[in-house]
Amino acid sequence: ASPLYELDDAMGVVQHHDGVSGTSKQHVAYDYAKRIAGGMNKANSFVTDALRKLLLNSNEGVLDNLTYCLLNNETICTVSQEASREGSKEDIYVIVYNALAKERHEVVSLPIDSSSYDFVEKLGGEQSDWVPVKSSVLPNANYAQVIGAASDIMHFEAKDIPPLGASVFRVSRLEDEVLSSTSIPAVPRNLRRSVQNDM
C-alpha cells in the first residue's frame, strides 16, 4: 500500500543483470524504463507532499507545483523553465535534499529559459532571512539535441546541506540596478568564432 512500493518493485525487477548492464532486448529496456518512470511518478507526489509539510509548515495553496525534476540531467525542468521566461513574475523555489548522512556542499544546476541574471538566496536559520549565494548562468550547448531542453543553466552554490536533510533556495529575477553588485556574468570566449561574436 505504500506510495513508494511501485518504485521499490520496479527497482527490484531492474536488478536483473540485463537491466544493470543494458544487455536486454530493446523492448525490454523500454519496459524497464517504463516501470521505473511509473514508480518515480508515484514517489514524486508522495515525497513532495512530505517535503512541503515538513519544511514549509505549509497548508494547502503554497508551492502547489512543487515537483522533482526527473529530467534535470537532460536540462529539462518545466517548472523552472516556465517561471524563468521573460515576462514571468514568479520566483523559483528549489529544495535540495541530501540523502547522505553527512553535510555536503554542491553546485546545483537548474534549467532555465532566460539568460538574464537571476538572484539566488538560501533560506537561513530564521524563516524570514534569505542569504545570497553565489550563482552564475551559462548557456546550455544541448549537444545531446534534447527536445525541449532549457536555453540556459543556472548554477548556484548549495553549501552546508544538512545530513539527511534539505536546504531551501529562492531564485528571483534581478532588477537591473542590482546586477552589477551580485554575480559575475559568464564570459564566453569562442576561440574559433570572430571577435565580433565574442562581444
Partner 1 sequence: GDEIVMSNDILSVTFDQSTGVITSITNLRDGITVNVEQQYGFYKSAFKDAPMNFVEDNDNFKGDGKCLPGYTDAEGDEYPWLVGSAENWQNSGAYIFRPTIDQKLHNLPPKRAQSVVVYNSGLVKEVHSVFGQGGWIKQIARLLPGKDFVEIEYIVGPVPIDDGGKEVVSKWTTSIASDGQFFTDSNGREFQKRKRGDHNVFGPDQPNSDEPVSGNYYPVNSIFIEDTVHSFGCVVDRSQGGASLTDGTLELMIQRRTLYDDARGVGEPLNETDIGITPNPPYDNAERLGEGVIVKGHHRMIVGKGGSGASKMRGIMDSVFSQPHVFVASAPSGTA
- Of the candidate spans 8-16, 34-42, 44-52, the one that interacts with partner 1 by CB under 8 A turns out to be 44-52
Distance CA 182, CA 127 (A): 22
Smaller CB distance to partner 1: residue 114 or 183?
183
Cα-Cα end-to-end distance for the chain: 59
Q: Find residue 120's DSSP bridge partners.
A: 171
Beta carbon of residue 163, minimum distance to partner 1 (angstroms, whole number): 11
Q: Enumerate residues 91-130 that contact partner 1 by CB under 8 A.
A: 91-100, 102, 104-108, 110
Grid cell locating 143: 549537444
Comparing CA positions, the residue from 148, 168, 156 lying closest to residue 75 is 148
Cα-based torsion angle of the residue sequence 12, 18, 24, 29 in order, rounded to the nearest 10 degrees: 40
The 148-167 site mask, x for binding partner 1 (CB under 8 A), equals: -------xxxx--x------
Q: Is 7 in the site for partner 1 (CB under 8 A)?
A: no
User: Least distance in Å: CB of 89 to partner 1?
Assistant: 5
Residue 173 in the binding site for partner 1 (CB under 8 A): yes
Q: What are the beta bridge partners of residue 168?
A: 95
Determine which residue in the list 51, 113, 118, 150 makes contact with partner 1, applying CB under 8 A: 51
**Lookup result for grid cell 518512470:** 37
Stretch touching partner 1 by CB under 8 A, among 4-12, 32-40, 58-66? 58-66
